[in-house]
Each structure stands twice: as structure tokens, then as C-alpha cells.
Amino acid sequence: MIRLSRALDAWGTPDFCDVLKQELMQMKIDQLPLQKAISMGNYVLDEPISVINVKAHESGGTIKVMAGIFFQTVISGCNCADDPTPVEKINEYCEILLNIDKKTAFISVDLLG
């Protein structure tokens, strides 16, 4: 399970969005549903992500956060020595919904749209 403890600690302060972005950018790529969000490539690269447009509100014991994620993919081929296809990074975007439990800081992540 994934915890965003620093983001939870920053909830209600002007620093919340920045702290949340930092914690999300430090997560491992496979901890987010990015593979399901691919629209042009077929493999998510283990490259840093960018987080934008964070919108958050509290609902009961949960902090609900909508965020945009920029990430990179490639179209992977056979990688044969004589394969002339260049491997170019493709910029992709998705939106996620994070539910942060206010007691434990554990999160669930859903892909939007």
C-alpha cells in the first residue's frame, strides 16, 4: 500500500499542492495506473513524471485529489540489431483521482476518463 504522509501533514496549508506533487513525482512509475492511460505508445518509461492542475477537497475522512500527470512512453519493437526503427519518447497525459485516508495516509488511485 502507498502512503502520502507528508501530503497528509501538509493538508490545509498553502504548501499542500507542492508537497503532494513532490511525493507523487518520487513514486515508482508502476505505483500509478499509467500503463492503462497510454494512448500513443505501448510501454511506460521509467522516467520522471510531471504533476499539474492539482485540485483537492475533503469528503468525510478522505482527501480527494484530482491531478494531471505527464509521462513518457515508447513504441517498443523487437530491438534487433538491424531494426532501423528509432526509439523515440512519446509525451502522454492522463488525469487521476487520489483518495488519501486522513487517518492512515494510505491512498487509492483511479484513472479518470
pTM for the model stands at 0.87
Output the CA torsion 55→58→63→67 (10° steps): -10
- Res. 104: pLDDT tops 80: yes
What is the rounded average pLDDT for all residues in the chain? 92
Q: What pairs with residue 97 in β-bridges?
A: 66, 110
C-alpha cell at 29: 512509475
What lies within 8 Å, CB to CB, of 13 at 6+ separation is none
Q: What is the pLDDT, as a whole number, of residue 110?
A: 96
- Res. 81: pLDDT tops 80: no
Q: What is the pLDDT, as a whole number, of residue 79?
A: 61
Query: ∠ CA(100), CA(45), CA(17), 5° rounding?
Result: 30
Confidence of residue 12 (pLDDT cuts 50, 70, 90): very high
Query: Across residues 68-89, what is the average pLDDT?
Result: 79
What is the residue extent of each domain of the chain? 5-112
CA distance 70 to 54: 13
Cβ–Cβ < 8 Å for 41, 11: no
